[in-house]
Amino acid sequence: MKTLCTLVLMCICLESLAQNIQLKGTVGNGDKQPIEFANVVLQTTDSILVTGTTSNLKGHFELNGINAGTYRLLISSMGYRTQEIWLNDLSQSRDLGNIPLEEESFAIDNVTVTASTQRSEVDRKIVYPSARQQKASANGVDLLQQLMLPRIQVDPVNNTIKIPGDGEVQMRINGVKVTAQEIRALRPDEIVRVEYHDNPGLRYGNAEIVIDYIVRRPETGGSFGIDIMQSPHVGWGNYQASMKINHKKSEFSANFWGGPRNFYGVYRDNLEDFNLENGTELHRYEKGVPSHWKMMQQWLNVAYNLQDNNKYQLNISVNYSGNNSPIQRYHGQLINRTDETDYVDMTDETNSNRHTPSIDIYYQRNLKKDQVLIFDVVGTYNKEFSDRIYQESRDNVLLTDVQNKVYGKKYSLIGEGIYEKKLSNGMRWGAGIRHTHSFSNNDYINGHNYHTQMQQGSTYLYGELRGKAKKLDYMVGIGGTRSFYRQEGSVDLYQYYTFNPRLTLKYTFNDRSYLRLRSSISNEMPSLGNLSAIDQVVDSLQIQRGNPNLEAYLHYSNTLDGEWSSGIFYTYFSVAYNYKPHAIMDEKYVEGNKIIQTWDNQKSWQRIAPMIQLRVGPVADILQFSVSGGLNHFISRGNTYHHKYSNWWLDASVSASWKNFNFMYQIMTNQNWFSGETLKGGENAQIIMLNYKWKDLQIGAGMFNPFTNDYKTQQENWNRYASSRKTNYIQESAQMAFLTLSYNFSFGRHYKTGNKKISNQDSGSGIMQTGK
């Protein structure tokens, strides 16, 4: 009897022990950063669910009460490949340690995020749009506005995406560099995540922010969409059409955007003060009258993509952008401010057009052991024409007659190769080389015929290492650039060698806060237009002159930033410092009875720019708002001048979604820029919109600057010989109402996606521009 009882007790103990087997581990990415809320599922060998859980904020998970046996453990998270672990003859508790998940580079399942989530890495923030944010958006630009990312300022009316200051924002789709028009063509339900690179690597050039939309790649079927904005009472509109056709490994796509502008209330007022060499002083006021301004912008893209999952990708893209401005007319009077009876009539008219076709051939090969090879070649042709007539007359007698015609052609070729490899312990390194070569061929006709031929090039070689040491992320980059340019007819070849290092240190306190320091040195080249050794007459007193002696210079950039979030509250701050010794900036001097406008390598230019952003929401899954503000303080030291200027700015937006309705209001104050002796003013703008979305159709109405009857931008020059303060007005842009319509439909879609990691383009015309 005792023996029987002992056997029973032993069986009970063994059963108890068998049911108390524990599995635990920590889920992370390739950089050993924890992945929160990862799905952990335990199944039998025939895929029957046993138990499951999710990882906590530190990526840790535990599974308890498991019987002995053989199991299949599946660990998954959005944006990562599912990790499968076989547990053969499990009989005791096990600690699986760190379980890394690889980022999903091509195939992405059709998933829905019910609440917006994000994770941070050393060089980027990965944001997963929520179902509410996707529902409130008709396209990719709308969605970006809903996400309210740090520093990003979205203008859905003018189709612009920018940041405070003059930093470059690169937009990409699956790694491919694109325009705002292509972002606007995206369907919200195609977008899986948005990768926000606020510390882009050396291969992104001088980009300050990179926003990469990771979208699903349909392997069958296609889609078509239109997006229309039109004012019922003003000659203003935005029209877009896009299509995609997919068949197996191939995708064909085409996008078109057109933006007509036809205003009759354009004019300018200008205060000017001149101090000539002979002691003559002139103080005049240009009083403008409403005149005609007409423009048509267009953009076209046709692309073919061939892709084999996780093996290779070939992308061929043919692009065209154009801008035709047949009428840019300013009329008014030039009044002597010391004697208002002394005045002349003024006319300033310009007819211009620009055509820029390009072709981009890209190839990416994924190799074994987490290696990638990338090649990209871009050829661009830029053709530009400008015809400007400036006249001053008194009592119908012509006193000044200026006619400037410019015929410009520019050819450029950009080639780049990149190698990247993922190392152990979450480290990555890469190296690349990029060469840019351009030729310009320009004719200037202004009473004299000038012909200029110039070539410019640069070769950039770099290497970069990224890693992690406990809570400290680091990124170290080393690059070198050889730059050169030459003007035809000159035996001199100007060439420069520069060292371009980059360092990032990021300390993560927890998954909701960090502090980061970024430093870099880059080089900046003079433009081909400013190098042209020709004169162009501006008006009766001023001449614009190129300077072939300009030299390349360095740009030192340092930024300290950080973020903190808790629940629905999010805060971001940054303090940026930019320093450019020997920067190319404008200057003026007196030559006889004329004022010469030109450029030169000045002593230095500096900018100090603190800013802060507060974001709250979503509140009750309905309301969210964001407010950003900051200061731009400039110190401009020229060879003959020294100026300081400060500008405070504010950007605020609120968005509310209820059922199928979405309301948005945005206000942006002037963000002015000061360089040399020139102050370029931004715009005070307000936008209010109300949209209704039903399935794939969205209709809406809005107004630009609803609470003001005056729209203007200002520009000043502080030169001691020729100072000015010019204000440009567009009467139609005040209280301009508009209607919107977006419709998208798709058929037979089955999703996969691929990443093209680099893209290059050349948009500079190589022409020296002139005008008042």
Could you write out the DSSP letters of every residue in 184-196? Answer: HT--GGGEEEEEE
Q: Which of 107-121, 437-451, 457-471 has the lowest mean pLDDT?
A: 107-121
User: pLDDT tens digits for 67-99?
Assistant: 888 888 888 776 677 788 888 888 888 898 888
Q: Residue 760: its pLDDT value, please?
A: 52
Amino acid at 622: I
709 or 288, higher pLDDT: 288
pLDDT band at 115 (very low <50, low <70, confident <90, very high): very low
Q: In what order do the strands lie in the sheet with 94-100?
A: 60-66, 21-28, 94-100
* Nearest C-alpha neighbor of 528 from the set 583, 487, 588, 490: 487
Amino acid at 111: V
For the CA atoms of 165, 170, 171, 177, the dihedral, rounded to the nearest 10 degrees, stands at 160
What angle (nearest 5°) sits at the alpha carbon of residue 497, between those of residues 495 and 501? 150
597 or 279, higher pLDDT: 597
What angle (nearest 5°) sits at the alpha carbon of residue 446, between those of residues 441 and 447? 125
Strands (DSSP E) contained in 553-696 are: 553-566, 569-581, 584-591, 594-601, 604-619, 623-637, 642-658, 661-668, 673-675, 678-683, 685-694
Residues of the chain with CATH 2.60.40.10: 20-100
Q: Residue 44: its pLDDT value, please?
A: 81
610 or 368, higher pLDDT: 610
- Percent of the chain whose pLDDT exceeds 70: 90
Q: Is the peptide bond before 610 cis (omega within 30 degrees of 0)?
A: no
Coil, helix or strand for 144? Answer: helix
Rounded CA separation 717/679 (Å) = 6
Rounded CA separation 409/407 (Å) = 7
- Is the pLDDT confidence value at 717 over 80? yes
Q: Residue 510: its pLDDT value, please?
A: 81
pLDDT band at 461 (very low <50, low <70, confident <90, very high): very high
Under a CB-based contact definition with an 8 Å cutoff, are residues 671 and 164 in contact? yes
Rounded CA separation 657/678 (Å) = 43
What angle (nearest 5°) sits at the alpha carbon of residue 557, between those of residues 552 and 560? 175
CATH H superfamily, domain 20-100:
Immunoglobulins (2.60.40.10)
Under a CB-based contact definition with an 8 Å cutoff, are residues 671 and 155 in contact? no
State in Å, rounded, how far the first CA of the chain is from the last one: 111
- Percent of the chain whose pLDDT exceeds 90: 45
760 or 497, higher pLDDT: 497
The CA R_g of the chain, rounded to the nearest whole Å, is 30
Number of residues written out for the chain: 772
Q: Which of 179-193, 242-256, 402-416 has the lowest mean pLDDT?
A: 179-193
Q: Residue 104: its pLDDT value, please?
A: 58
Rounded CA separation 677/720 (Å) = 10
pLDDT band at 112 (very low <50, low <70, confident <90, very high): very low
Rounded CA separation 144/339 (Å) = 54
286 or 490, higher pLDDT: 286
261 or 454, higher pLDDT: 261
> What topology does CATH give the domain 246-742?
Maltoporin; Chain A (2.40.170)
Most confident of 115-124, 160-169, 278-287, 763-772: 278-287
Under a CB-based contact definition with an 8 Å cutoff, are residues 173 and 213 in contact? yes
User: pLDDT tens digits for 539-563?
Assistant: 889 999 989 888 889 999 999 999 9
Q: Residue 309: its pLDDT value, please?
A: 66
User: pLDDT tens digits for 295-351?
Assistant: 999 999 999 988 876 788 898 999 999 999 999 999 999 999 999 899 999 999 999
User: pLDDT tens digits for 677-704?
Assistant: 999 988 888 999 999 988 889 999 999 9
User: pLDDT tens digits for 412-426?
Assistant: 999 999 998 988 776
Q: Residue 163: its pLDDT value, please?
A: 83
Under a CB-based contact definition with an 8 Å cutoff, are residues 752 and 216 in contact? yes
Residues of the chain with CATH 2.40.170.20: 246-742
Extract the tokens encoding 740.
Answer: 């919107």
Give the bridge partners for 99, in sequence order.
27
- Is the pLDDT confidence value at 630 over 90? yes
Extract the tokens encoding 110.
Answer: 């059709």
- Mean pLDDT for 102-124 is 55
- Mean pLDDT for 459-482 is 90
Query: Which are the contacts of 717, defined by CB distance < 8 A and separation ≥ 6?
Result: 586, 588, 677, 678, 679, 723, 724
Extract the tokens encoding 748.
Answer: 């037979």
Query: Which are the contacts of 264, defined by CB distance < 8 A and separation ≥ 6?
Result: 290, 291, 292, 293, 732
The strand pair at 678-683 and 673-675 is best described as antiparallel
In terms of DSSP H, where are the helices of 372-499? none
Maximum alpha-carbon separation in the chain: 132
Rounded CA separation 436/327 (Å) = 35
**CA 697 from chain center: how many Å?**
28
Q: Which of 31-40, 108-117, 574-583, 633-642 has the lowest mean pLDDT?
A: 108-117
Rounded CA separation 276/274 (Å) = 6
